[in-house]
Amino acid sequence: MSIQLKSAAEIGKMRVAGRLAAEVLEMIGAHVEPGVSTGELDRICHRHIVDRQGAIPAPLNYKGFPKSICTSVNHVVCHGIPSDGKILKNGDIINIDITVIKDGYHGDTSKMFFVGTAPEHARRLVRVTRECLLKGIETALPGARLGDIGHVIQRHGESNHYSIVREYCGHGIGRGFHEDPQVLHYGAPGTGIELRPGMTFTIEPMLNAGSRHTRLSAADGWTVTTRDRRLSAQWEHTIAIGEDGCEVLTLREEER
Ligand code: MF3
Ligand code: CO
Ligand code: CO
């Protein structure tokens, strides 16, 4: 494992990329409504990233991924492929995951949206999953260990009677989309590598309403669903460890 510590200049570039990724999520919210297709959401984001931001949508052609964003609806855990045939309906929940490359550096962030009015059980899953991300971020201090982050996420999710997906995790990020280390969303305190200033990585917990087990679509090779077809939620931020805290590089205006 080789963790690339970023210089102040590199973190400056990651701040720009992170800001752009966050801005795409701010922009797309107005378009998430009953009747829109995930294919249309993809086109709107693609145009925004390429034409307005002068940036690159990192998923497009990444290991063969065919679209510019990931759209994961209801029981889709992650890596859902946008499609004109997938029309959002009232009560759906959707994760939109945006990764942009600007000046050689990546920013990666995702958010849950409600389509129209979602049922209370779905809203609760989405809220607790966001709380897991925020607790993970609060724990990401220099001198803490990766296992501390996983532990607080697992404890909060499971104490609310949800399960934590294990097959997919957060990751180092920078010039590479997915760098070392792997950031697990479960674990034991005091284990794993120590966090140091200059580390940049994502935290992106996925929580399931039912069992934690997932299935990878054999048909498209990407779409990950819950095995029991119950709901799943995910939120993601890219962060940088500093000398005495961490900075969220993908913070949205609504979170300030
Ligand atoms: N953005 C996802 C992540 O958080 C990765 C998507 S890879 C893709 O790591 F190919 F599916 F786009
Ligand atoms: Co990520
Ligand atoms: Co992502």
**Residue range 132-169, pLDDT digits in tens:** 999 999 999 999 999 999 999 999 999 999 999 999 99
For residue 92 and ligand 1, the question of a CB distance below 6 A is answered with: no
Residue with the nearest Cα to atom 7 of ligand 1? 59
Output the pLDDT for position 23. 99
pTM of the full structure: 0.99
DSSP class of 51: I
Q: Which two tokens stand for residue 207?
A: 């929580």
Nearest C-alpha to atom 3 of ligand 1 is from which residue?
A: 108
Task: Count Cα neighbours of 32 within 13 Å in the Cβ-side half-sphere.
Answer: 24
Tell me which ligand sits closest to the C-alpha of residue 58. 1
Atom of ligand 1 nearest to the CA of 236: 4
Write down the pLDDT at residue 1.
Answer: 82
Q: Both ends of the chain: CA-CA distance in Å?
A: 34
- Per-residue pLDDT tens digits for 8-34: 999 999 999 999 999 999 999 999 999
pLDDT under 50: residue ranges of the chain: none
Angle, helices 146-159 vs 120-139, to 10°: value is: 160
Q: Which two tokens stand for residue 27?
A: 């922009």
CA pseudo-torsion sign 140, 248, 16, 170: positive
**171 CA to middle of ligand 2, Å?**
6
Burial 70-109 (b: 16+ CB within 10 A, else e): bbbbbbbbbbbbbbeebebeeebbbbbbbbbbbeebbbbb
Q: What is the pLDDT of residue 213?
A: 99
User: Which residue's alpha carbon is at the smallest distance from atom 11 of ligand 1?
Assistant: 79
> Is 97 close to ligand 1, i.e. is its CB under 6 Å away?
yes
Q: What is the pLDDT of residue 172?
A: 98
